[in-house]
Structure 1
Amino acid sequence: MTSAPEERAARRSQTRKMTADDAETAAALSNDEGAATWDALAFRRELDVPHARLEVVEQDGRVVAFAVWWEVEGELDLLNLVVEGAYRRRGLGRRLMDCLFDEARSRGITRLQLEVRAQNAPALALYRSYGYEVVGRRPGYYADGQDALLLTCELDGR
């Protein structure tokens, strides 16, 4: 259930496909928020990958969130989802997750997967609310030595 402030924030925002013009902003956001650090060139390259989808959320006239996922062998793999700190808890991450799930349903995909830092409790809570379950761990996966958790979600007609 979303609160009134979350609903107002969601109404003031728009979701759209990322463009090359968004690459610098997405890279800065990724680096600032400690996500998988991609530079602008990495985002531009992803835009040319046929099985990749990149979405952004604009609010207050600027990009404040993004998500990147791939369709690989009949599954959707969420590679990166970042919401700028000042814009968290406003439903923007949910908006991006809804895009991911809408795409899965429209393509008949029933399995989704992702990796997340084991210590990222807010992200884990979001993913679990969508039905993701932890299925594995990759010790020391990230450059800073943190573990990654592997999560999957089976849609099964949801």
Structure 2
Amino acid sequence: MFMTMGENGLDCQLREMDTEDLPQVLIIEQACYPQPWSAQMFQHEMDNHLAHLVVCEQNGQVLGYICFWHVASEVEIHNVATKPTCQGHGIGGKLMTSVLNYVANHKVNSVFLEVRSSNTPAIRLYEKFCFKPTSLRKKYYADGEDALLMEWRQEPSGFGKKER
């Protein structure tokens, strides 16, 4: 899964995450989340045949990543993050596009994710990709914050109505 992106935002390449990426991924993870995943959690995902992990890199530097599972006709996005200094430069959109391109090629009907209810920039990003809120999990996170569940569904007339 190699792509070069540069039209809108930073020029970067998307590829599968590997073990050598973990030091950079962990720095991003710790900068972005109050309860970050550990190296063991990422390694477990890389070893899981259902999981897909993609990094966006530029000149050997990881700018962001996304982790998702493909189970039956559904995809679940489990983790997505962008290096804080690169936020707002289209990396998150490129990572989401990589998932929806995967979806288009693998007979997937729906994509699910959860996001902190206070994470307005992420919610806006997901809404741009036609994700809709479906429910709220009260006090879901360890710090008591709610999780907003969101879903993207394959539309009969095409791919979620989002220009890719």
TM-score, scaled relative to structure 2: 0.87
Residues 115, 8 of structure 1: alpha-carbon distance in 2 compared, 3 angstrom cutoff: closer
* Alignment-mate amino acid for residue 82 of structure 2: V
| Preserved CA contact (<8 Å) 2:28 2:84 | no
Q: Once the two structures are superposed, what CA deviation does each residue of 1:58-81 show, in whole Å capped at 9, x if it has no partner?
A: 124311100000012310000011
Contact 1:35 1:80 in 2 (8 A): no
Q: How many residues align?
A: 152
Q: Distance in 2 between matches of 1:40 and 1:82?
A: 15
In the alignment, the residues of structure 2 paired with residue 123 and residue 54 of structure 1 have an alpha-carbon distance, to the nearest angstrom, of: 19
Aligned partners of 1:36 and 1:123: how far apart in 2? 17
Alignment match, 1:15: 14
- What amino acid does structure 2 have at the position aligned with 1:90? H
Cα deviation for residue 35 of structure 1 reads 6.2
What is the match of residue 57 of structure 1?
A: 56
Distance 2:31 2:25 in 1: 10
Once the 2 structures are TM-superposed, how far is the Cα of residue 155 of structure 1 from its aligned partner? 2.0
Question: Which structure 1 residue ranges, 5 or more long, are not aligned?
Answer: 1-5
> 2: distance between equivalents of 1:9 and 1:91?
5
Aligned equivalent of 2:29: 30
Calculate percent identity across the aligned residue pairs: 30
Amino acid in structure 2 at the alignment position of 1:88:
Q
**Structure richer in helix, relative to its length:** 1
Identify the residue that residue 150 of structure 2 maps to in structure 1.
151
Matched AA of 1:27 = L
Offset, 1:24: 2.3
- Please, what is the CA RMSD of the aligned residues? 1.5
3-state SS of the aligned residue for 1:7? coil
User: What letter matches 1:127 in structure 2?
Assistant: Y
SS of match in other structure, 1:108: coil
